[in-house]
């Protein structure tokens, strides 16, 4: 009866197969090319094995987790704000997390021996959460075009503000901290190691699970708060769940990889054209597509100028920026 | 089915305490001038707003005793405006909030005359088309089937805020006839905010007349609507003629 249900399962399975194939392929590509035989269980030379298991695999897994989280988080935020522009980067959620992580690096790092990584994660979460709550408060009470403009302006102000405070922090930072800030700030998956990945492997799947389980409620929320309440939705509980899960997810991603922009905007928007707006399909599809997109972007980032690499955040911005402009200039602007 | 026991509100809109009952098998019209408090009273009845005083009871239980999902099985609300941010297909949209698996209940799509709209996106619909689709969704939420007896005997309360405001005259008649037909079923009650007094007088069993945040009259259309009351409350000069049963006809004076 509906467009999405007839196409859903085969397409999702196809995307999953594509992701698996891409994972296998990307694990072989890089500054050191690896033989496909490694995928068939043939033990390679120790160096190749070390590159594959200690460098490539954690990096690819991190790309999958971060790509999935950013895309699913963007989808859920768009559903919650009932606005197709509610992207973690545009609304300032990511830069809020970024500023909090910068503050941690400059002011607190080194003071808590052994807790550096967790402190960075916690800072990212708190920063994203604070910005989400502020944005949510500002956006409440506006509808349609008014809501879009208000949210974008609020996001612009938050991004500018966090940029300014972040700039001030660079003056206070030591040389070591500056190097740490600039490497992390451009958005890169280069820091992926099994030790850093362990937290992400626990927390990010949990946030994704929360988002997937909220899909039916997000669908109801699209009726508007009053009608959704009458249709059986506890809207307050849903809002708290999405705000916490997306802040935790985005905050952790930013703490791990820096700001990787536009995935949360681009992925749900493209998929909605195909699957329709129902979140039960859109969120799993966004997870798969976000993972694929970030895997591709990261492989490009580490292959184009090999053995050096471009920060992956720059690659996604180069793809996402023009797409966002096209959205604003093109006919799709009417839908906002 | 539903009892309002001295239900009142102080803010954001002052509503004087209302004590009334809504029976099953009844089509109740809420009428009154703009800003009289009709939509606010409807929100109180739906449970979206919690009253500052008094209690709303559904089937002898306070609304607070029900979980949102339990309430949704017994009561649905059609708001004045439905603005979707995303382009739901009509077929998907009417299944939002559906408590049963599978297709929408038989007869809803035909009764609301939206069969030809099922593949369209809601953003492309006219105001009247969207209004019909929104009402179809509410009927489907309650599993009310206009084609035959409604599943089970569980009480159903359908609340509609100005459901005819964007409809042409044919669709207005079609909808009011449908609501009239549904409200003949003993376990279904329909509460409808209406601005068209002729529609209210022609189809409703009872009317509640609101003015400046208080319920100033309730009864059959013949009891509530007379030229003096209409002039006092609405400031309009009309002539009122007796119609069939409790109905009346209202004509604006030149």
Whichever domain contains A232, its CATH number is: 1.10.3470.10
Q: Do B77 and A219 touch (CB under 8 A)?
A: no
The C-alpha atoms of residue B63 and residue B50 are separated, in whole angstroms, by: 9
Residue pLDDT tens, chain A, 336 long: 445 555 688 899 999 999 999 999 998 887 777 777 777 777 777 788 888 888 889 999 999 999 999 999 999 989 988 888 788 887 788 889 999 988 988 888 777 766 767 788 888 889 988 988 888 788 766 655 566 677 778 888 988 999 899 888 888 888 888 887 877 777 788 877 888 888 889 999 999 999 999 999 999 999 988 899 999 998 888 988 988 898 889 989 988 888 888 899 889 988 998 898 999 999 999 999 999 999 999 999 888 877 788 888 888 888 888 887 887 776 554 444
Q: Do A231 and B79 touch (CB under 8 A)?
A: no
Class of domain B2-221: alpha beta
Burial A288-327 (b: 16+ CB within 10 A, else e): bbbbbbbbbbbbbbbbeeeeebbbbbbbbbebbeeebeeb
- Look at chain A and report how many structural domains it folds into: 1
Contacts (Cβ under 8 Å, ≥6 apart) of A298: A26, A59, A63, A189, A312, A315
Q: How far is A143 from chain B (nearest CA, A)?
A: 9
Within a domain: A101? yes
Model confidence band, residue B206 (pLDDT cutoffs 50, 70, 90): very high
Which residues make beta-bridge pairs with B215? B210
C-alpha atoms less than 13 angstroms from C-alpha of B124 in its C-beta half-sphere: 9
Quick: pLDDT tens for B100-122: 777 777 788 888 889 999 999 99
Q: What pLDDT does A231 receive?
A: 92
Q: Say if strands B206-211 and B26-31 run parallel, antiparallel, or are unpaired.
A: parallel
Task: Answer whether A236 touches B (CB < 8 Å).
Answer: no
Q: What is the DSSP letter of A268?
A: H
Within a domain: A37? no
The C-alpha atoms of residue A279 and residue A73 are separated, in whole angstroms, by: 12
Q: What pLDDT does B166 receive?
A: 86
Task: Answer whether B69 touches A (CB < 8 Å).
Answer: yes
The C-alpha atoms of residue A149 and residue A139 are separated, in whole angstroms, by: 10
Within a domain: A35? no
The C-alpha atoms of residue B38 and residue B1 are separated, in whole angstroms, by: 20
Q: What is the DSSP letter of A27?
A: T
Tell which of A223, A269, A333 to mutate to test the B interface (max B CBs under 10 Å).
A223
Q: Chain B residues with CB inside 8 Å of A283's CB?
A: none
What SS3 string covers chain B? CEEEEEEEECCCCCEEEEEEEECCCEEEEEECCCCCCHHHHHHHHHCCCCCCEEEEEECCEEHHHCCHHHHHHHEEEECCCCCCCCCCEHHHHCCCCCCCCCCCCCCHHHHCCCHHHCCCEHHHCCHHHHHHHHHHHHHHHCCCCCCCCCCCCCCEEEEEECCCCCCCHHHHHHHHHHHHHHCCCCCEEEEEECCCHHHHHHHCCEEEEEECCEEEEEECHHHHCCHHHHHHHHCCCEEEEECCCCCEEEEECC
- Tokens found for residue B17: 């305490």
Segments forming the whole domain that contains residue A132: 52-335
Which residues make beta-bridge pairs with B209? B31, B217
Give residue for tokens 């703490």. A255
Within the 127-186 window of chain B, which residues sit less than 8 Å (CB to CB) from chain A?
137, 141, 159
Within a domain: A41? no
Instruction: Give me the residue spans of the domains in chain B.
Output: 2-221
**pLDDT at residue B239 greater than cutoff 60:** yes
Tell which of A7, A144, A227 to mutate to test the B interface (max B CBs under 10 Å).
A227
Within a domain: A43? no
Minimum CA–CA partner of B92 in chain A? A2
The C-alpha atoms of residue A290 and residue A262 are separated, in whole angstroms, by: 10
Quick: pLDDT tens for B68-81: 888 999 999 999 88
- Tokens found for residue A107: 């002011």
Within a domain: A10? no
Burial of B98 (0-12, 13-18, 19+ CB in 10 A): middle
Minimum CA–CA partner of B160 in chain A? A227
The C-alpha atoms of residue A214 and residue A76 are separated, in whole angstroms, by: 9
Q: Chain B residues with CB inside 8 Å of A276's CB?
A: 87-89, 92
The C-alpha atoms of residue A109 and residue A179 are separated, in whole angstroms, by: 14
- The answer to whether the beta carbons of residues A132 and A243 sit under 8 Å apart is yes
Query: Of B150, B195, B191, which Cα lies nearest the Cα of B27?
Result: B191
Task: Answer whether A269 touches B (CB < 8 Å).
Answer: no
């Amino acid at each position: 009866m509906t467009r999405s249900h007839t196409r859903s399962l085969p397409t999702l399975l196809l995307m999953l197969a594509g992701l698996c194939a891409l994972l296998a392929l990307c694990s072989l590509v890089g500054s050191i090319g690896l033989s496909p035989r490694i995928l068939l269980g043939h033990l390679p030379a120790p160096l190749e094995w070390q590159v594959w298991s200690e460098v490539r695999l954690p990096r690819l897994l991190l790309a999958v987790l971060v790509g999935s989280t950013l895309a699913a988080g963007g989808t859920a935020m768009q559903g919650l704000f009932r606005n197709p522009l509610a992207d973690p980067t545009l609304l300032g959620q990511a830069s809020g997390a970024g500023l909090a992580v910068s503050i941690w690096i400059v002011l607190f790092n080194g003071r808590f021996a052994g807790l550096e990584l967790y402190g960075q994660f916690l800072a990212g979460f708190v920063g994203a959460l604070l910005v989400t709550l502020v944005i949510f408060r500002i956006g409440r009470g506006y509808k349609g075009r008014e809501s879009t403009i208000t949210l974008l302006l609020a996001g612009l102000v938050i991004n500018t503000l966090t940029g300014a405070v972040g700039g001030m922090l660079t003056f206070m930072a030591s040389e070591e901290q500056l190097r740490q800030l600039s490497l992390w700030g451009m958005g890169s998956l280069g820091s992926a190691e099994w030790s850093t990945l362990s937290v992400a492997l626990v927390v990010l799947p949990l946030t994704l699970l929360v988002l997937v389980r909220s899909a039916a409620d997000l669908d109801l929320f699209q009726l508007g708060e009053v009608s959704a309440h009458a249709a059986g939705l506890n809207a307050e509980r849903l809002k708290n769940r999405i705000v916490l899960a997306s802040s935790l997810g985005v905050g952790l991603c930013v703490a791990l990889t820096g700001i990787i922009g536009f995935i949360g905007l681009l992925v749900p928007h493209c998929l909605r054209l195909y699957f329709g707006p129902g979140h039960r399909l859109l969120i799993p599809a966004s997870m798969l597509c976000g993972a694929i997109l970030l895997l591709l972007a990261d492989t490009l980032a580490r292959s184009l100028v090999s053995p050096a690499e471009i920060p992956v955040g720059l690659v996604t911005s180069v793809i996402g920026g023009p797409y966002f402009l096209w959205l604003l200039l093109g006919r799709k602007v009417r839908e906002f | 089915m539903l009892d309002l026991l001295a239900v009142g509100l102080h803010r954001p809109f002052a509503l004087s305490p209302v004590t009334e009952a809504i029976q099953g098998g009844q089509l109740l019209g809420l009428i009154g001038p703009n800003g009289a408090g009709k939509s606010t009273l409807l929100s109180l009845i739906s449970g979206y707003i919690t009253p500052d005083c008094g209690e709303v009871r559904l089937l002898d239980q306070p609304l607070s005793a029900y979980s949102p999902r339990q309430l949704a099985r017994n009561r649905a609300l059609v708001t004045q405006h439905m603005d979707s941010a995303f382009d739901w297909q009509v077929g998907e949209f009417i299944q939002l909030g559906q408590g049963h698996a599978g297709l929408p209940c038989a007869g809803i799509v035909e009764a609301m005359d939206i069969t030809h709209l099922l593949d369209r996106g809601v953003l492309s619909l006219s105001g009247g088309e969207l209004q019909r689709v929104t009402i179809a969704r509410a009927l489907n939420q309650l599993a009310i089937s206009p084609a035959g007896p409604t599943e089970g005997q569980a009480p159903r309360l359908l609340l509609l805020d100005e459901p005819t405001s964007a409809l042409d005259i044919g669709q207005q008649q079609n909808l009011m006839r449908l609501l009239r037909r549904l409200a003949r079923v003993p376990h279904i009650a329909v509460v409808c905010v209406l601005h068209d007094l002729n529609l209210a007088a022609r189809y409703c069993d009872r009317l509640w007349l609101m003015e400046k945040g208080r319920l100033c009259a309730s009864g059959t259309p013949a009891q509530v609507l007379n030229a003096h009351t209409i002039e006092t409350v609405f400031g309009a000069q009309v002539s009122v003629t007796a119609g069939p049963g409790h109905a009346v006809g209202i004509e604006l004076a030149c």
